[in-house]
A = this chain, B = another copy of it.
């Protein structure tokens, strides 16, 4: 059985927001054996919404529409659905009371625009939205299901988990599907592809391999459709174990692992602690580490030393080094790492200093020049990276490479750095 997703809103088409709802629904559906065969984004115009719903419901067993249900005047999904099904909008009393009590609790006046939230196409099944005022709705045509959900992500997510998925499960028998993905970091795509070609050739025919590169690594996904789940999982486990032997230590682990999560696991296992000193990465390394739950077990803290006085005063970098070698230098990177490690009495430290751009570059230190250092009780090591011209990418890549450099040091694979291509 298959599903299509329709996301509604001019803001998507003119690129003012990125549609993350469909990716989230796609991931959840796919884990549950529902194939999402198409995602379509259309504008806030009634005719286009109707056309998109009409084509989707002819192709797919389940159609999920998100967006266009807010209290403001530009939201017209409900009118489009009512027109497509040839019914009127009528007040749903349960929703009316729900919205009224919500507004009361928050001390917000129950005004006309809030009352409009309780209007729904006559005959639809209302799916109560516990987290907001716009209700979900289910309509049926020829045995197919059309869900209309609010576009606010956390409201939509709760409705999908609590209402949509159970309803779909009850009415359809779902396909068995298994996806498993591993994360690699530090190898260019073409090299990775060549290195693992013999392994790829030898995969069973019912396993599909996909490459998914991004700034934080290249992920490899195996997928199996309509195969016994246990068989598929066992085969994937074997295959990924074989892959790991081929590309270790570029193999970071199973998704959703990231380089920082792999490092976190290592530090937890060893009961060791980490401190970070950031210049060009500006807090991103610290922020990525603390996005992980339980980071306080191993992460002590960080200093973003943007100003040279902070490098000197807080981290103890020599003023002579700053003068002679400049803030973007091996000497300063190493002193930052050692300084923050001692300041916070951590087992390890990571430091970055570089020219993120677009300004600040010079002939010998162009934009993209970054020094990364790691320090441990008894030593320090550093590495020069040369990235490109884009500020965001330079910050992001510096952070990932810095985290990875410590990871490789801890697993005793620092020497691999010499051979790795800069991604």
Contacts and interface: CB of A to CB of B under 8 A. Distances in A.
Contacts of A111: 190, 194
Given A40-B39, A108-B190, A113-B193, A18 B18 contact: yes
10 contacts: A12-B39, A13-B37, A14-B223, A17-B23, A17-B214, A74-B210, A282-B286, A296-B306, A309-B345, A313-B344
Interface stretch (A82-90, A119-127, A389-397): A389-397
B421 A106 contact: yes
Contacts of A190: 71, 103, 108, 111, 113-114, 133
A344 B307 contact: yes
B40 A26 contact: no
Nearest to A18: B23
A174 interface: no
Given A11-B221, A72-B189, A73-B209, A303 B303 contact: yes
A251 to B, nearest CB: 17
Interface stretch (A41-49, A373-381, A402-410): A41-49
A317 to B, nearest CB: 12
Interface in A201-229: 208-214, 219, 221, 223
A344 B314 contact: yes
A361 to B, nearest CB: 13
A290 interface: yes
A154 B393 contact: yes
- A-B complex: 6 closest residue pairs judged by Cβ atoms: A282-B290, A283-B286, A15-B27, A15-B26, A283-B287, A283-B283
Interface string A57-90: 0000000000000111110000000000000000
A17 to B, nearest CB: 6
B212 A17 contact: yes
A152 interface: yes
A70 B189 contact: yes
Total identical chains: 2
Contacts of A310: 300-301, 344
Nearest to A219: B16
A415 interface: no
Interface in A1-41: 10-20, 22-28, 30, 35-41
Contacts of A287: 281-284, 286-287
Contacts of A52: 38
B291 A301 contact: no
A337 interface: no
Contacts of A154: 390, 393
